[in-house]
Structure 1
Amino acid sequence: MEKVFEDHLSELQTDMVAISLEYVDDQAEEIYIYCSYEPEAYYFNVFYKIAGEFVLKHQINDRLNQKTKHVYDTSIDRQKALLKIGREDLELIHKRCKKFNRDMPTEMKLKYNVKENSLNAKYNYDLVYSNDEDLLPTDIFESWVDEISNGKAK
């Protein structure tokens, strides 16, 4: 049986979750993945809830070492590899959208609950930052991190 669009989307999102979970040695409670595509610009980033704390990928050892007693490989090379694979998955999603004549979301916010093995995805199709001279995708990502970590998520 031939795959439908949703199968492709699900596989690529599953890969994003898998690489994000692998980055933290399967130690996360929740994974938050942010993807953005606005005219020819792809952006991927991730943050985590580990040991009850929300942490960015580069802060894990600094913030959690005393709590978890686990040392994570957060080297620059490993961070770059994580972001590269995530961006490549996002580009493949865009290719699948074109192939299946679907609109490409300008924004995807994925929340993966490790214990429940459940993925919640929110999609946006409106321009978020490219029509604002002062906003960058990192600004939107950081705003989402603040929203989640301060319990103000909608």
Structure 2
Amino acid sequence: MNKVFEDYFSRLQADMVAICLEYVENEAEDIYIYCSYEPEMYVFDVFFKINNQVVYKHNLNDASFSGKSVGNKALVYDTSEQRQEAVLDIGIENLEKIHEKCKEYGREMPTEIKLHYNVKQNSLKGKYRYDLVYSNDDELLPDDIFDLWFEEVKSGNQSNGNSW
């Protein structure tokens, strides 16, 4: 069977989820992945919901654990700079591969991809944009968009009635 564009697209998104899940040692309720591509700039970042708390990747250990442990030790995430950079590098590599497949199959590359993975339900949902989000704005940066999404999820105020 020949692979089609959707197979590649799905596999690469699943790989993004897998690396983020590995980063949190499979101990998260939800994973929120932000990807962006606007003229020659790739952006990848992620935040998590752990113990009903929405936290950035570098603040995982701020989520209270209610006695969760691995063996006899309390669960402590490795949020070292090297580990964070490794996750971001792999995410960007996958985003670049998505772009290559878009070119190969004559598809438009999304300018923004927001993925929500519900760990317990093993459910992945995505939102895709194809218009420029920040390139035409003198003040807006990709980090601003990511932080706005983080705050939306944290406050429970999802735009468009979406309840992710």
Range into which the TM-score falls when normalised by the shorter chain: over 0.9
Q: Percent identity?
A: 59
What is the rounded CA distance, in whole Å, between the counterparts of 1:72 and 1:145 in structure 2? Answer: 20
Per-residue displacement from partner, 1:65-101 (whole Å, max 9, x unpaired)?
A: 5544410000000000000000000000000000000
Shift of 1:64: 2.0
* Number of corresponding residues: 153
Q: Is the 8 A contact 2:51 2:65 kept in 1?
A: no
Q: Is the 8 A contact 1:97 1:103 kept in 2?
A: yes
Query: Partner residue of 1:25?
Result: 25
The one-letter code matched in structure 2 to 1:103 is: E
Q: Normalization by structure 2: what TM-score?
A: 0.91
Moved segments of 4+, more than 6 Å = none
What is the rounded CA distance, in whole Å, between the counterparts of 1:134 and 1:88 in structure 2? Answer: 27
Q: Is the 8 A contact 2:20 2:31 kept in 1?
A: yes
- The reply to whether residue 87 of structure 1 matches residue 92 of structure 2 is yes
Gaps of 5+ in 1: none
Query: Partner residue of 2:13?
Result: 13
- Residues 3-152 of structure 1 mapped to structure 2, 5 A cutoff: 3-61=3-61, 63-64=62-63, 67=66, 68=68, 69-152=74-157
The structure number with the bigger radius of gyration is: 2
Query: Partner residue of 2:71?
Result: none
What is the root-mean-square deviation in Å for CA atoms of aligned residues?
0.9
Q: What's the secondary structure of 1:9's corresponding residue?
A: helix
Q: Is the 8 A contact 2:116 2:125 kept in 1?
A: yes
Q: Normalization by structure 1: what TM-score?
A: 0.97
Shift of 1:17: 0.2
The one-letter code matched in structure 2 to 1:27 is: E
The one-letter code matched in structure 1 to 2:102 is: C
